C-alpha cells in the first residue's frame, strides 16, 4: 500500500510526497486495463489478481495503488468520464442538458457494465462532469442543494434508461400490443381499454426510444428548473 493515508481516495494517495520508491504504474494504466476487461468480458472478469496479471505485476503490488476491487471500479468510472466532450454552455437549459444526456447515453452504450456499478468516490474527471453540470444548471438559479439534487436526478434517469435499453425493455416486442389487447379482453381495465381503442394507440412503430429518453430528460428538467426551461 502507499504510505499515504489509506482513507484518502486513490487520486490523492497517488500524490503522496513522502520519500520512498516511486510507483511504476499510473492510476490511468490500471483503469485502462480494468475498462478493457469489463468491456470485453463483463464485470465478473474484474479481480485484483486478473488485473495484476494483465499489467504484468503481482496482486500484492497492485495493492500499493488501490485497496481492492471497489477502488478499481472508481478508477474505471473516472476514466470513462474522461470521454465526455463538453460544449461551451449556451444558457439554453434544455439544449445544454440534452447535450450532456445524449453523451451519457452513448457512454453507457459503449460501456454497458456502467449501469451495474456504484463508484465509491469521484475522481478528477467525475468532478469535471459535476462542474460542467453545475454550469449548465446555473441559469435556473437553484441553491446548491437543489443543484446537486437536479444533477443526481438527471444522471439517475440516464442510468436507469440505459439499463432498460440494454435489456431491451424500452421498445416493446413486436407482439406486445397484440398481447396487451388480448389481456384487456380478459379483464376489467377500462382506462387501458379506452387508451388502446384509439386510432393512435401505442404500438411498436409508435415507440421511439430516442423520444422516450429525451421526454424523460425534459420532464425531469421541468421539475428541477420549472420556468427557467426555454420553450
Alpha-carbon gap, residue 50 to 70, rounded angstroms: 15
- Last residue of one domain, picked from the residues 21, 52, 80: 80
Q: Domain for residue 117, yes or no?
A: yes
- Last residue of one domain, picked from the residues 36, 59, 80: 80
Q: In which residue ranges of the chain is pLDDT below 50? A: 1-3, 17-22, 173-175, 204
Both 136 and 151 in one domain: the answer is yes
Both 129 and 213 in one domain: the answer is yes
Express each pLDDT in 97-136 by its tens digit.
999 999 999 999 999 999 999 877 889 999 999 999 999 9
What pLDDT is recorded for position 19?
45
What pLDDT is recorded for position 207?
66
Query: Does residue 154 contact residue 224 with C-beta atoms inside 8 Å?
Result: yes
- Last residue of one domain, picked from the residues 80, 110, 127: 80
Both 129 and 223 in one domain: the answer is yes
Q: Domain for residue 60, yes or no?
A: yes
CATH number for the domain including 58? 1.10.10.60
Q: Report which of 78, 99, 73, 86 is spatially closest to residue 131, judged by C-alpha positions.
A: 86
Spatial neighbors of 153 by CB under 8 A, at least 6 apart, are 220, 223, 224
Both 110 and 223 in one domain: the answer is yes
Express each pLDDT in 62-83 by its tens digit.
998 999 999 999 999 999 999 9
Q: Domain for residue 198, yes or no?
A: no
CATH number for the domain including 116? 1.10.357.10
pTM of the model: 0.82
Query: Does residue 91 contact residue 139 with C-beta atoms inside 8 Å?
Result: yes
Both 218 and 122 in one domain: the answer is yes
Amino acid at each position: 500500500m502507499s504510505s499515504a493515508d489509506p482513507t484518502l481516495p486513490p487520486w490523492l494517495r497517488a500524490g503522496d510526497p513522502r520519500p520512498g520508491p516511486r510507483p511504476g504504474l499510473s492510476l490511468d494504466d490500471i483503469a485502462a486495463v480494468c475498462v478493457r476487461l469489463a468491456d470485453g468480458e463483463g464485470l465478473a472478469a474484474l479481480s485484483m489478481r486478473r488485473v495484476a496479471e494483465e499489467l504484468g505485476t503481482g496482486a500484492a503490488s497492485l495493492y500499493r495503488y488501490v485497496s481492492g476491487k471497489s477502488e478499481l471500479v472508481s478508477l474505471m468510472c473516472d476514466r470513462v468520464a474522461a470521454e465526455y466532450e463538453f460544449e461551451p454552455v449556451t444558457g439554453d437549459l434544455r439544449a445544454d442538458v440534452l447535450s450532456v444526456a445524449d453523451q451519457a447515453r452513448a457512454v453507457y452504450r459503449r460501456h454497458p457494465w456502467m449501469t451495474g456499478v456504484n463508484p465509491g468516490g469521484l475522481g478528477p474527471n467525475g468532478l469535471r462532469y459535476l462542474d460542467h453540470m453545475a454550469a449548465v444548471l446555473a441559469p435556473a438559479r437553484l441553491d446548491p442543494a437543489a443543484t446537486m439534487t437536479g444533477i443526481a436526478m438527471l444522471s439517475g434517469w440516464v442510468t436507469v434508461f440505459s439499463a432498460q435499453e440494454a435489456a431491451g425493455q424500452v421498445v416493446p416486442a413486436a407482439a406486445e400490443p397484440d398481447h396487451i389487447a388480448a389481456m384487456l379482453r380478459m379483464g376489467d381495465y377500462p382506462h387501458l381499454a379506452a387508451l388502446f381503442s384509439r386510432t393512435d394507440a401505442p404500438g411498436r412503430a409508435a415507440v421511439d426510444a430516442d423520444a422516450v429518453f429525451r421526454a424523460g430528460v425534459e420532464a425531469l428538467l421541468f421539475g428541477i428548473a420549472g420556468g427557467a426551461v426555454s420553450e
